[in-house]
Structure 1
Amino acid sequence: MDQGHDTSPDRCAFVAPLLSSLLTLPMGLLAFFSVGLSPMACDSCGDAASDRFDASYGLAFPVFVTGLLLVLAVLVAGWALPWQRRNAARRVGFALLAPAVVVLDYVVFASIVDWP
């Protein structure tokens, strides 16, 4: 039978999403705390620098939260795929994509913010 159409159950289907969840969720939480503490970077800024930082942070924070929702969607997609052998590659792909999206989300946040 062709491996692409193998509908037999995959007994190890939970491994990739589980490992991804165990890595991605703490990464996302750490990134969220880091983003939440970012306004302290401009505590000693002058008025003009503080205004620029606040304006950019006001845009960057919602973008970051939206990115975390995307991370959650990728994790859920990895868990929600039918536990059949034909979905093993997709499941591993989602498992690898989730932590990469956390990193990308933080990089996008850091690039939007006008740091002092």
Structure 2
Amino acid sequence: MTLTSDTARHPRAFVAPLVSTVLTLPLAAVAFFFVGLSPMACDSCGDAASDRFDASYGTAFASFGFGLLLVLAVLVAAWALPWQRRNAAARVWLAVVAPAAVVVDFAVFHGLVDWP
């Protein structure tokens, strides 16, 4: 059996997922840190503003958590693709999407919260 250039093992297939993981995990940790600190933004709010903030924060935090699960799924997919040359483009795209998805996830969180 001969291997064609598409089915041959790619010797540096791990580079894109590795770089993406090194960027994505700290970025997600920092985003989670700031999301966790967000309830302190309304410590001095009145009752009505605090109720609006708390209700919107609950929804936004749940969507942020789901977004982080999607980021994790993208990272796992980047690592799980077979290490063949034909999957190189998909692996690179998944590796690029993962850190960008963290930024989008944080932006969605920020947009969903009814800030005081």
Q: TM-score range by the shorter chain?
A: over 0.9
1:80-105 Cα deviation digits (max 9, x unpaired): 00000000000000000000100000
Unaligned runs of 5+ in 1: none
Q: How many residues align?
A: 113
Identical pairs, percent: 71
Structure 1 segments (4+ residues) deviating >4 Å: none
Structure 1 letter corresponding to 2:38:
S
Unaligned runs of 5+ in 2: none
The aligned counterpart of 1:16 is 16
* Pairing of 1:9-88 with structure 2 (within 5 A): 9-88=9-88
The aligned counterpart of 1:90 is 90
1:40-88 Cα deviation digits (max 9, x unpaired): 0000111110000000001100100000000000000000000000000
SS of 2:86's partner is: helix
Q: How far, CA to CA, are the matches of 1:100 and 1:45 in structure 2?
A: 33
Q: RMSD of the TM alignment (CA)? A: 1.1
| TM-score normalised by structure 2 residue count | 0.95
Q: How far, CA to CA, are the matches of 1:13 and 1:98 in structure 2?
A: 16
| TM-score normalised by structure 1 residue count | 0.95
Q: How far, CA to CA, are the matches of 2:69 and 2:58 in structure 1?
A: 18
Q: How far, CA to CA, are the matches of 1:58 and 1:85 in structure 2?
A: 44
